[in-house]
Amino acid sequence: MADDALVEVRDLDMAFNVGKARARRTTLQVLRKLSFDVGRGETLGLVGESGSGKSTAGRILVGLFEPTGGSVKLFGRTITGPERKANLAAVRSRVQFVFQDPHAALNPRMRVGDSIAEPIDIAGAHTRRDRSHRVKELLEMVGLPRDAAERFPHEFSGGQRQRIVIARALALEPGFIVCDEPVSALDVSMQAQVVNLLMDLQTKFGIGYLFIAHDLAVVRAVAQRVAVIYAGSIVEIASKDALYEQPQHPYTQALLDAVPRPDPARVRGPVIGGEVPSLLAPPPGCRFHTRCPHAMPRCQVEEPRLRETAPGRQTACHLYETL
């Protein structure tokens, strides 16, 4: 792992047993062989369709789920396998999560100041006097007045509530934050404000982000690198400029081609039909071959491996393999 890497994920698998009766239970393979890194002060965007496994990956990184395979390192400590419990306890305060719905993320019966101070109280990080000062400091940091601490979540707009959630995530000075669709529930003007806030905080404190989203325009604004996930597997990772200007994987090309642009002369590529395959019974070989316009017989039987196709770029597609 590089010296400045905060997160190192290798061959991550996640499966759930589903079905009510034991005899009818089957395996839902949500993630398969995910590998990526997030560096200090870097934002990695994770994009894909709904149900592709993005949020599950984020929850594994903060310790909410235990994966069924692979390894995860946070700040050099392995939080999978036999060392999981001890190492996760050692890094938990340095890893935080920003949820998609700020209204659901806040207890409506708790004052904002108490919600922000909750992780401080759990960690025992400050005295009562210092606790109050820290809460007010965090509110100012995210652009809210100090007296907001005495109010309740329903008294704020959606954008302001998301700022409160971010303030709570910053309470213990984390080095890495998973942002799970943090602006998708907001209008465009509020999205821009929250994105600018996250970027300013990153510049000031060197925080690393895993930014989960389906809005490619937002990801382009905030991320330095982008990973594209399809049906539980990463199909392409590249720098933001390389991926948006010259996408390699057919799925990435389809995602970018679907983004609306105010250009009447623009010629769109072929529309990708069909649905994301069921993770209960995924197709053999490449999981995208049932929808891919470039599919060949090999794609139906052999799953492509994520490999380097250019410096700093990886793609999982047989079109870019040397036969």
pLDDT in tens, 272-300: 777 788 888 888 999 999 999 899 999 99
Mean pLDDT, rounded, for 307-316: 93
**Whole-number pLDDT of residue 30:** 94
- Residue 267: band (very low, low, confident or very high) from pLDDT cuts 50, 70, 90: low
Sequence spans of domains, the chain: 5-223, 247-259+270-323
Structure tokens at 102: 């700020």
Could you give the CA distance from residue 1 to residue 116 in angstroms, rounded to a whole number?
33
Residue 323's pLDDT is 43
CB-based contact 40:66 (threshold 8 Å)? no
CA distance 161 to 167: 10
With a cut of 90, say whether residue 258 has pLDDT above it: no
State the pLDDT at residue 26.
84
Res. 2: pLDDT tops 60: no
- DSSP character at residue 280: T
When pLDDT is averaged across residues 154-178 and rounded to a whole number, the result is 95
**Residue with tokens 């395959």, as numbered in its chain:** 277
Q: Residue written as tokens 């409506």?
A: 108
Q: Which fold has domain 5-223?
A: Rossmann fold (3.40.50)
Which residue has 């034991």 as its token pair? 22
Q: Which residue has the tokens 């904002």?
A: 112
- Residues present in the chain in total: 323
The Cα–Cα gap between 301 and 291 comes to: 15
Q: Above pLDDT 70, what percent of the chain?
A: 93
Average pLDDT of the segment spanning 26-39 = 93
Q: Which two tokens stand for residue 130?
A: 């210092």
Q: What is the pLDDT of residues 38-80, one digit of tens each?
A: 999 999 999 998 889 999 999 999 999 999 999 999 999 999 9
pLDDT score recorded for residue 271 = 66
- Does the structure show a pLDDT above 50 at 243? yes
pTM recorded for the entire structure: 0.91
Q: What is the mean pLDDT of residues 123-147?
A: 88
Ordered alpha helix ranges (H), the chain: 54-61, 84-91, 102-105, 112-123, 128-141, 158-169, 188-205, 216-222, 240-245, 250-257
Strands 26-39 and 5-18, by their bridges, are antiparallel
- Could you tell me how far CA 293 lies from the centroid of its own chain? 28
Mean pLDDT across the chain = 90
